[in-house]
Amino acid sequence: MAVYFGSLNDVTIERRETAEAGRAAARLMKGLEVALGQTGLSLPQYRLLLFLSGGAERATALAAWLDVSPPSLTALVDGAVSRGLVQRVPLEEDRRCVRHEITPLGHEKLSLADGVLVDKLGSVVSYLDPDEAERAIEGLRLLGKALDAIRAEKDANDAARVTGAAR
* pLDDT tens digit sequence for 32-46: 999 999 999 999 999
Q: What is the pLDDT of residues 77-109, one digit of tens each?
A: 999 999 999 999 988 887 778 999 999 999 999
**102-135 pLDDT tens trace:** 999 999 999 999 999 999 999 999 999 999 999 9
Contact 79, 86 (CB under 8 A): no
Looking at this protein, which amino acid is placed at residue 33?
E
pLDDT of residue 160: 83
Taking Cα atoms as reference points, which of 118, 11, 109 lies closest to residue 52? 109
Task: Report the C-alpha gap between 132 and 43 in whole angstroms.
Answer: 27
Model confidence at 11, pLDDT cuts 50, 70, 90, reads low
Q: Return the domain boundaries, the chain.
A: 8-127
Architecture of domain 8-127: Orthogonal Bundle (1.10)
Model-wide pTM > 0.75: yes
